[in-house]
Amino acid sequence: MKVMLSYCPLCHRKYQTEDIYLIGKRENVELFYLSCANCGKANLSYSVNLYDSVTSISLTTDLSYQDATRLEKLDPINLVTELNSENASFKGNNSLYKEVLDNFGKLT
Ligand SMILES: [Zn+2]
């Protein structure tokens, strides 16, 4: 698969091969870390290959390459499960998590 983000969305510099790192791959999804040598910003780009077509979702990040690779290796979490967990580290102070869930329309 190939990264679909060719230009830095912030300064429009064309990415070079040495700017692009494949940091994760699962079945039909690849995660790339793209670092811009011009503006110093980074982007994460997911490329998804389904039914012979490829789509990409990218976001600008302040994660370093090392942080992005570490984050990619973590197991996914479910905020609703975490919110109801007895072992939740935020027990008794869950206003931030409720706000996040409210913003995504998960609470009524
Ligand atoms: Zn840039």
CA of 9 to the centre of ligand 1 (A): 7
What is the gyration radius of the CA atoms in the chain, in angstroms? 17
pTM over 0.85: no
Summarised one tens digit per residue, pLDDT across range 18-67 is 999 999 998 889 999 999 999 999 999 999 988 888 888 999 999 999 99
CA of 92 to the centre of ligand 1 (A): 42
CA of 97 to the centre of ligand 1 (A): 32
CA of 8 to the centre of ligand 1 (A): 5
The domain limits of the chain are 1-74, 75-108
Could you tell me which of 26, 25, 20 has the C-alpha nearest to residue 44?
A: 20
For residue 29, what are the contacts with CB-CB under 8 A and spacing of at least 6?
46, 47, 48, 49
CA of 74 to the centre of ligand 1 (A): 28
Main-chain phi, psi angles of 55, to 5 degrees: -125, 160
Q: Is the dihedral of CA 92, 100, 65, 26 positive or negative?
A: positive
Summarised one tens digit per residue, pLDDT across range 69-102 is 988 888 777 767 766 666 655 555 666 666 666 6
pLDDT at 108: 45
